[in-house]
Amino acid sequence: MNVSAFLGNDELRRQEALEAAVTAWDGGDGTCVRESHFGEDMRWEHVAESYQTQDLFAPRKALIIKNWDKLHLAHQKNLEELFRSDNPTVAVFLSAEKWDGRSSFRKAVDAAGKVLEFKQPYEDKVPQWISQRAQQKYGRRLSAPDARLLQDIVGNNLSELDHELEKLDTFLPKSQPITAADIHDLVSPLKVVGIFEFQRSMGLRRKADMLPALRNLLDNEFKDAGFVIAQRLYSHFLALLKIRAALEAGEPESSALSGLKVPPFIVQKERYLEQAKTRSVERWKQLVARLARLETELKQGRYPHRFEVEMAFAAMV
């Protein structure tokens, strides 16, 4: 039974591992034919026939079935019984986000050491992944703060992040480090406008600008996940609180801006100093505390209507 399964919600690494396994079976010598099928629209009978039929032009065959979990369960069972009968000329590669662990066939493939799982890293681990990916795949240095900036702009989808790294690698001089300025110039400008314009409008107390930016985030990048916006704004306001506290303690502006976990390019471009000066330390503390409560309330579903969410943020301007 030559069956391998690639599972998990990390689509990028899952597909890369699948491709590497198929290439290893292929050998690159032209003696293998590849067939790709998709669970949501394939006919299992065609796959079964292909599994049992010798190809006319190649001695080996790779059957790739993507979205295996979207194939009707009864059709899965039919193919599983067939795949149990060994065919040394055919290798089967299954790809899916999930596969029922109770399936006896899944257990058999797992026991053979042919199940590989790839989970999306937690949000706080994504910047580390970005920096490692930039170095390992593209040979470019990318600092942790700049990696976090790329995450803020693009999100946590590793495939989208890798596409942006590829774009940066294409347009920047060879081996040059990737900087915050490069990211701002080349990466997804529409998303940059969303999160940074919202933070800027909140910091500068521009209610007229805040509402369109907030709606853009709720309609697109955050898909009504208001608690995530509250988390991001909490981090931003906390940085502004630190700046304001340093200024009120008599520190020079250059010292007040140092030590932030934000690229200096962004601090200057987004006018952090000007934003920090719009409220007193006490008021910033109140807003940070309010955002912490708001995040919890949003997770609890306390604001079921979009209007209520908008008013909650507007009250902080």
pLDDT tens-digit map of 227-281? 999 999 999 999 999 999 999 999 999 899 988 888 887 888 889 999 999 999 9
Q: Are residues 87 and 151 in the same domain?
A: no
pLDDT value of position 152:
83
pLDDT band at 6 (very low <50, low <70, confident <90, very high): very high
Cα–Cα distances in angstroms (integers) from residue 275 to residues 111, 156, 199, 246, 272, in the given order: 58, 27, 10, 14, 5
pLDDT tens digits, one per residue of 279-296 = 999 999 999 999 999 999
Q: Are residues 88 and 108 in the same domain?
A: yes
Q: Which sign does the torsion angle of CA 10, 121, 159, 156 carry?
A: positive
Domain termination site, one of 94, 117, 140: 117
Q: Are 156 and 120 in contact (CB under 8 A)?
A: yes
Strand pairing partners for 115? 5
Query: How many domains does the structure of the chain reveal?
Result: 3
Q: Could you give phi then psi for residue 308, rounded to 5 degrees?
A: -65, -40
Domain termination site, one of 117, 145, 164: 117
Helix (H) or strand (E) holding 95: strand 90-96
pLDDT value of position 193:
54
Q: Are residues 169 and 137 in the same domain?
A: yes
Q: Are residues 198 and 260 in the same domain?
A: yes
Domain termination site, one of 63, 97, 117: 117
Q: Are residues 134 and 229 in the same domain?
A: no
Decide if pLDDT at 88 tops 60.
yes
Range of the domain at 139: 123-187
Q: Are residues 170 and 229 in the same domain?
A: no
pLDDT value of position 188:
60
Q: Are residues 35 and 20 in the same domain?
A: yes
Q: Are residues 167 and 255 in the same domain?
A: no
Task: Please name the residues in contact with 181: beta carbons below 8 A apart, sequence gap of 6 or more.
Answer: 265
CA gyration radius, the chain: 26
pLDDT value of position 30:
67
- Closest by CA to 3, choosing from 119, 101, 95, is 95
pLDDT value of position 217:
87
pLDDT band at 191 (very low <50, low <70, confident <90, very high): low
Q: Are residues 95 and 136 in the same domain?
A: no
pLDDT band at 106 (very low <50, low <70, confident <90, very high): very high
Q: What is the CATH number of the domain that holds 205?
A: 1.20.272.10
Decide if pLDDT at 190 tops 70.
no
Q: Which of 127-136, 152-161, 284-293 has the lowest average pLDDT?
A: 152-161
Q: Are residues 65 and 135 in the same domain?
A: no
Q: Are residues 179 and 194 in the same domain?
A: no
Q: Are residues 207 and 302 in the same domain?
A: yes
Decide if pLDDT at 207 tops 90.
no
pLDDT value of position 119:
94
Q: What is the CATH number of the domain that holds 45?
A: 3.40.50.300
| Helix, strand, coil percentages in the chain from 3-state DSSP, rounded to 5 | 60, 10, 30
Decide if pLDDT at 186 tops 90.
no
Q: What is the mean pLDDT of residues 86-97?
A: 93
